[in-house]
Each structure stands twice: as structure tokens, then as C-alpha cells.
Amino acid sequence: MSDIIQIHEENEAFQHFLTGKLRAYNDLHSFHHRQIRNANVPVIQLKVEERGEVIGGLFGSVYWGWFDLDRLWVDADHAKTGIGTRLLQEGERQAIQLGAKYVKLTTFSFQAKAFYEKFGYEVAGVLHDFPPGSDYYMMTKSL
């Protein structure tokens, strides 16, 4: 039987090795993974500025018919002003133009779950007590 060897320091080469092995497995078993591996995936980047300062932004990418909404942020001083709504709606509009039929995102219970629910997002999965005292949600929406 082989020994388990613990690596005590962060080892970037080992992390790349594991990533490569997982990607090779996915490529072997999934046409979609092979197809997208070297594709030029379209991104959506939006920002809102006030007097030269960024007060809100959105970042996501579109692939496999999905808008992967990775980040949406609004400065706390500008909360409840409609900036988040404008960013979300414009991001969805652009995603549709790029062929997205659905959106996926993640958020914590202390972040924006209720905000997304107002726009038709539904919880697709939840990790309770992650981090302790909070929940982590994956949410989706049909466009």
C-alpha cells in the first residue's frame, strides 16, 4: 500500500499538477469541457463611477448558455440608490445578447440573497453554517 505524504508548505506546482489531472479527466468525459478549454469566453464587466471613483461594479462570463455572475458590488454609501439594480439588469441584458438563457451566482446570507430574490432568482443549493453563523447560497434564474 502507498504512503500518504503531507506537504507542509503551499506548493503551487503540486496545485497545478492536480488541476491538470482534473482537467484531463473532465476533457475525457465531457465534450463541453473540451470545447471550452481554449475558447474565448465572453466576459461582462460593468462599472459605475462618481467623480472618478468606482462606486459599483459587476463581473461575469457567459458559457454553456449560462451567465456566470461572479461579482456584483455597490459601495455601502450608495446602497439602496438603484445602482445594484441597474448593474444587474444591464448584466442580464448583455448576457442575453451573448446567448445566455440562465444565470448562476453565489451569495452569503449576510450579502444579497433577498436582493436577488426580488429579481426572480431562486435558491438552487445551500451550505448551512458556512462560514459558522452564515449560509452560502447558489442561486439561479431563467433569462
Tell me the domain boundaries of the chain.
10-39, 43-142
The CATH superfamily label for domain 43-142 reads Gcn5-related N-acetyltransferase (GNAT) (3.40.630.30)
Inform me whether the pLDDT recorded for 2 exceeds 90. no
Closest CA to 58 of 41, 83, 39, 80: 83
- The pLDDT tens digits of the residues spanning 100-122 come to 999 999 999 999 999 999 999 99
pLDDT at residue 5, rounded to an integer: 83
Inform me whether the pLDDT recorded for 17 exceeds 90. yes
pTM for this entry: 0.87
Asked whether the beta carbons of 93 and 103 are under 8 A apart, the reply is no
More confident residue, 130 or 7: 130
**Averaged pLDDT, 71-94:** 97
Per the prediction, the chain carries an average pLDDT of: 95
pLDDT at residue 6, rounded to an integer: 86
Closest CA to 58 of 93, 84, 96: 84
Asked whether the beta carbons of 69 and 104 are under 8 A apart, the reply is yes
- The pLDDT tens digits of the residues spanning 33-69 come to 988 888 899 999 999 999 999 999 999 999 999 999 9
What percent of the chain has a predicted confidence (pLDDT) above 90?
Answer: 87
Asked whether the beta carbons of 108 and 137 are under 8 A apart, the reply is yes
Asked whether the beta carbons of 140 and 124 are under 8 A apart, the reply is yes
Length of the chain: 143
